[in-house]
């Protein structure tokens, strides 16, 4: 279980380490709710609606607030926001099992689908593999189109440093400042 004080949300950035045969990942970001992060793990399944789903269908209280992944060929981007209106009726989905660790890495498996694109990734710590990448927008190619899927190399998810000190850090700073003021007051008084 991940320990720590509450924060607004927790961001993991994709760090690519190698390319696939035809395509490579160039970046990505996963944003989790603080509540999901503090649980230590989360299983998530936001599936697309059958045809005719109503606009405005979003995942309420989603543990995954945003998911983004980009690839260099041909500038394909997956941008999934389960909390946005029209998420499910826009034929998008994300499925994942994630484990948060104190070392800042993310472990687990995920897949993201949009109307004409898909990919899956899995891994542990500092080694993830992106597999099953395919897009209808790779037209004219024999690879990565339709049901001919490609790998997109390796990388890892690294937790973004929180620039805002946690409440415990604020308390330590406040106590240190009060201690310094007290020491200065005592010195002045003894002179």
Tens digit of pLDDT for each residue in 106-140? Answer: 999 988 877 667 788 999 999 999 888 877 666 65
User: Judging by beta carbons within 10 Å of its beta carbon (0-12, 13-18, 19+), is residue 157 exposed, middle or buried?
Assistant: buried
Strand, helix or coil for residue 15: strand
Whether residue 151 is found in the same domain as residue 189? no
pLDDT of amino acid 55: 43
Whether residue 130 is found in the same domain as residue 156? yes
Domain containing residue 41: 9-160
Whether residue 68 is found in the same domain as residue 134? yes
**Tens digits of per-residue pLDDT, 171-181?**
666 777 777 77
Q: Is residue 59 part of a domain?
A: yes
Q: Is residue 1 part of a domain?
A: no
- pLDDT of residue 92 exceeding 90: no
Whether residue 103 is found in the same domain as residue 184? no
The percentage of the chain sitting over the pLDDT mark of 90, rounded to a whole number, equals 22
Whether residue 65 is found in the same domain as residue 29? yes
List the one residue out of 47, 56, 64, 61 whose CA is nearest residue 85: 56
Q: Is residue 38 part of a domain?
A: yes
Residue 105 CA to residue 102 CA, distance in Å, equals 8
Write the CB contacts of 32 (distance below 8 Å, at least 6 apart in sequence): 9, 10, 11, 12, 42, 63, 64, 65, 98, 100
Whether residue 187 is found in the same domain as residue 151? no
Q: Is residue 72 part of a domain?
A: yes
| pTM, full prediction | 0.71
- pLDDT of residue 19 exceeding 60: yes
Whether residue 112 is found in the same domain as residue 173? no
pLDDT of amino acid 3: 46
Whether residue 48 is found in the same domain as residue 67? yes
Whether residue 72 is found in the same domain as residue 139? yes
Whether residue 84 is found in the same domain as residue 115? yes
**Tens digits of per-residue pLDDT, 28-69?**
888 998 988 999 999 888 765 554 444 445 555 678 888 888
Between these two residues, 46 and 88, which has the higher pLDDT value? 46
DSSP secondary structure code for residue 114 in this structure: -
Residue 2 CA to residue 104 CA, distance in Å, equals 10
Q: List beta partners, residue 110.
A: 96, 121
Strand, helix or coil for residue 22: coil
Q: Which residues of 77-113 are buried (b: 16+ CB within 10 A; e: fewer)?
A: ebebbbbbeebbbbebbbbbebebeeeebbbbebbbb
Number of domains in the chain: 2
Whether residue 72 is found in the same domain as residue 112? yes
């Amino acid at each position: 279980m991940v320990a720590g004080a509450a924060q607004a949300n927790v961001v993991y950035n994709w760090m690519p380490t190698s390319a696939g045969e035809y395509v490579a990942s160039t970046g990505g970001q996963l944003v989790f709710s603080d509540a999901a992060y503090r649980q230590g793990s989360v299983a998530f399944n936001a599936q697309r609606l059958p045809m005719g789903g109503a606009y405005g269908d979003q995942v309420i209280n989603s543990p995954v607030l945003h998911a983004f992944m980009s690839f260099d060929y041909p500038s394909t981007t997956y941008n999934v926001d389960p909390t946005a209106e029209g998420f499910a009726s826009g034929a998008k989905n994300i499925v994942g099992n994630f484990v948060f660790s104190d070392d800042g890495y993310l472990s687990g498996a995920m897949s993201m689908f949009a109307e004409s694109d898909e990919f899956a990734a899995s891994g542990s710590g500092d080694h993830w593999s992106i597999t099953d990448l395919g897009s209808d927008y790779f037209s004219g190619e024999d690879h990565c189109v339709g049901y001919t899927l490609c790998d997109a190399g390796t990388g890892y998810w690294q937790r973004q440093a929180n620039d805002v000190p946690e409440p415990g850090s604020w308390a330590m700073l406040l106590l240190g400042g009060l201690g310094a003021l007290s020491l200065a007051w005592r010195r002045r008084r003894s002179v």
